Amino acid sequence: MNIDVMENSSDTKKVTTPLPLWEGQGVGLEGLGGGLSISIAKDSAFNFTYRANIDALRELGEVTFFSPLNDERMPDCDLLYLPGGYPELFASDLTNNASMRESIKAFAENGGRIFAECGGFMYLCNDIDGIPMCGVFPFSATMMDAKLHLGYRQLCNTKLSTLNPKLAKGHEFHYSSVIEPDTLPEGIIKEQFQLSAKGQPVDTALYHYKNVLAGYTHWYWAETGFAEIMEMFQG
């Protein structure tokens, strides 16, 4: 597979303007027109993306790719997208790339915008079965007692209200799970407002921390646009 990797000399301590989705101030993605720089993880560990989703992101600005496995650190960007994949199969290689993990952690702590799905979410956790990851979320991801979580998902705006035909759709497909602390640390918000294909509430969560948004669902935003989906998450 031909992987596009971006050479970078990023300063991940750069503080970006908070998105209204997460912190209720600043400017939204739609207000930036086509001026965003967007970096997407793409290698053997992170390779589940929809081509149409990537095309939609290109409408917001320049899209580049990097490898959490092989690059020294993440690129300088306005938005970091960590898609799904199989980080559990490459956990040792991912943890050995400490400079990459530290750069992503620093980016998150300093207000960087991150959107992560499934395997990308696992990578942001504290560890995968005891193997250290980025530590943005204080959860342990595990493959122990693996159980299939499968189904179509719909985004229910305004907390399980009447469905809107333009609402975002996606799917959940994973065997891993996350072990949360008994009490979530201050600053981490857990929201459960997704519906099954039949319109029934599911316990699949979306987690907010600063300007980081992550969860297990793979979303499809090619029809609605990425910025519009962010607004839907806001409720």
pLDDT along the chain (235 residues), means of 10: 31 36 42 76 94 91 96 96 95 98 97 93 96 96 70 57 56 73 79 70 81 87 72 57
* 187, 210 contact by CB (below 8 A): yes
**pLDDT attached to residue 69:** 98
| Predicted pLDDT at 26 | 34
Q: Where are the alpha helices (DSSP H) in 110-143?
A: 119-124
Q: Note the pLDDT of residue 24.
A: 39
Tell me if residue 118 is catalytic: yes
Instruction: Return the number of other C-beta atoms located less than 10 Å from residue 9's C-beta.
Output: 8
193-207 as b/e: b if 16+ CB within 10 A: bbbeeeeeebebbbb
What DSSP letter does each residue of 39-93 carry, written as one string?
EEE-SSSEEE--HHHHHHHHTTEEEEEE-TTTSSSPPP-SEEEE-EE-GGGGHHH
Listed by start position, the domains of the chain span: 20-140+207-234
pTM above 0.85, yes or no: no
Task: Supply 187's token pair.
Answer: 């600053």
Which listed residue (77, 118, 134, 156) is catalytic?
Answer: 118
Q: Output the pLDDT for position 223.
A: 74
Would you identify the CATH topology of the domain 20-140+207-234?
Rossmann fold (3.40.50)
CA distances from 33 to 30, 49, 82, 170, 223 (A): 6, 23, 22, 25, 17
